[in-house]
Structure formats: C-alpha cells, structure tokens
Structure 1
Amino acid sequence: MEKEKSCPCGSGKQYKDCCKIAHDDINNVITAEQLMRSRYSAYVLADGEYLHKSHHSKTRPKSRGERKETVKWAKAVEWKGLEIINKQQGLEGEDFGVVEFKAYFVERGRPSVIHEKSTFEKENGHWVYYSAL
C-alpha cells in the first residue's frame, strides 16, 4: 500500500486533501492563502499549467518560452518549505487579499529564500495571483 504523501505547502494535511483539490479545480480555492499555498505546491511539482491558470490574466507571463523557463527553474531547485508570515483580507466572500510568505529552496547548492507580499484578486469568480508588492 502506497504511503500518502504530505502536501508540499506545509499545511500538515495529505496532498490529496489539500492542494490537489485546488490543482484539480481552481474554483475549489476559497481563500487567498489557499491559492498561495496551492501555487507553492505547483512550483514544487513543476505544474506549469496550474501556475499559468492561477495567475491573473493581466499579469501572467504571455509567452510559452517564459512559462517553460519557470517550469525548468522549478524543477532545477530543491524546495524546502513555505512559511506564511502574514495575511490581510482574502477570505471567502472577499475579492482582494495580501499574503506575505517566505518560500525556501536550494539552488546550485546554495540555500535561498523568496520573501514576498503577494496580492490576490478574484477573476472569473476564483482567486488568482496578481502581483508582488
């Protein structure tokens, strides 16, 4: 019997009970934090399709080349964890939210971190990443 794998986002839940729900259908995402976590997991899994779908149409990378480079980079680094530092708004029923996070990874043997305050909005009825503040 295959052991259930824990979700890369660090929620403590199994992947199938956490970010997979969002990856299977972005309309299942209820909060901005949930979208942030699902995007982190998509980076860990190098899921370029989900990263594209979960990015606001006004700010998402337009070219296939850019998207391929993102996936290539996501596969090349070793993801170490996600830390949610703060969140403002972004709850169910709201249309805007901000999530501050740190995403830890190792690239070419060097530990690194992305520290960002990300803005999220609803587009077509579901949460999407808009930009970094």
Structure 2
Amino acid sequence: MATPRPCPCGAPAPYDACCGPAHGGEAPAATAEALMRSRYSAFVLRDVAYLLASWHPSTRPKKLTLDPDTRWVGLEVLSASGGVFDTAGIVEFRATHQVGVQTERSHFVREGGRWYYVDGVSAR
C-alpha cells in the first residue's frame, strides 16, 4: 500500500483529503483559511490555473507567471476569519521559501458558495 502524499499546506491530512479536492474541482474550499491553504499548495505545485480560478475577478490578473526559482517550504497561519457562513474573511500567514519569508494579510470573499482571494498586504 502506497504512503499517502503529504499536503504542501502542512495540515495533517494527506493531499488527496486536504487541498487535492479543491485543486481538482471536486470540492470548493469551505473557509477562507482553507482557500488560502489551497492557494499556498497551488504555489508549491505551480498550479497557475487554480491560482487564477480562485482569484476574485475584480482583482485577478490576466495572466500569472511564477518565479521558477522560488521553492516554497513551509506555511504558518497566524490568524484567520471567514467561516462557512461568512461572506468575507482575512487570513494572516507566514510562508517560507528557500531565501526568505513572506508574511501577508490576505482578504477573501465568498460569492455563490465559493471563496475567492481578493488581495493581500505584506505584514511585518
């Protein structure tokens, strides 16, 4: 029996039970934090299509190019709001890559039963 693949977002659930269903379009993220975690995993996996699809149309860029040299290695959620019945949420997180740390306060909205990333501000 194969060992389950760990989820890049750092949650204890394996990828197939954590961010995988959101990436595959099988189940939308239930909370703003879940969407943020799935987006972090998409950065790790270089899933540009998912990143654009989960970005709110009002702020979504026409295209997204990821830096091929950036290797994301860890995620820490510092605070989160935006539950299953909310329409807005904020997630503050610290994402580590091979040469530094990105700390951000991201804004999310829920429309039509789906959460979307709106924008983020660097936090220090």
Give the TM-score, by structure 1 length. 0.85
Which SS does the other structure have where 1:61 is aligned?
A: coil
| Aligned counterpart for 2:100 among listed residues 100, 112, 127 | 112
Rounded to whole Å, the distance in 1 between the matches of 2:87 and 2:27 is 14
Rounded to whole Å, the distance in 1 between the matches of 2:30 and 2:71 is 28
* Partner in structure 2 of residue 43 of structure 1: 43
- When the two chains are superposed, the root-mean-square deviation of aligned CA atoms in Å is 1.4
Identity among equivalent positions (%) equals 41
Q: Is the 8 A contact 1:26 1:126 kept in 2?
A: no
Report the number of matched residues: 121
Question: Which runs of at least 4 in structure 1 moved beyond 2 Å after TM superposition?
Answer: none
- Cα distance change, pair 50–26 in 1 and its aligned pair in 2 (3 A): farther
Q: Is the 8 A contact 1:84 1:102 kept in 2?
A: yes
CA deviation after TM superposition for structure 1 residue 26, in Å: 6.9
Is the aligned partner of 1:123 residue 2:111?
Answer: yes
Which SS does the other structure have where 1:16 is aligned?
A: helix
Unaligned runs of 5+ in 2: none
Q: In structure 2, what residue type is equivalent to 1:101?
A: F
Unaligned runs of 5+ in 1: none
CA deviation after TM superposition for structure 1 residue 121, in Å: 0.3
Is the aligned partner of 1:77 residue 2:70?
Answer: yes
- Cα distance change, pair 115–37 in 1 and its aligned pair in 2 (3 A): same
Is the aligned partner of 1:92 residue 2:84?
Answer: yes
Q: Is the 8 A contact 2:21 2:27 kept in 1?
A: no
CA deviation after TM superposition for structure 1 residue 76, in Å: 2.1
- Cα distance change, pair 5–27 in 1 and its aligned pair in 2 (3 A): closer
Give the TM-score, by structure 2 length. 0.91
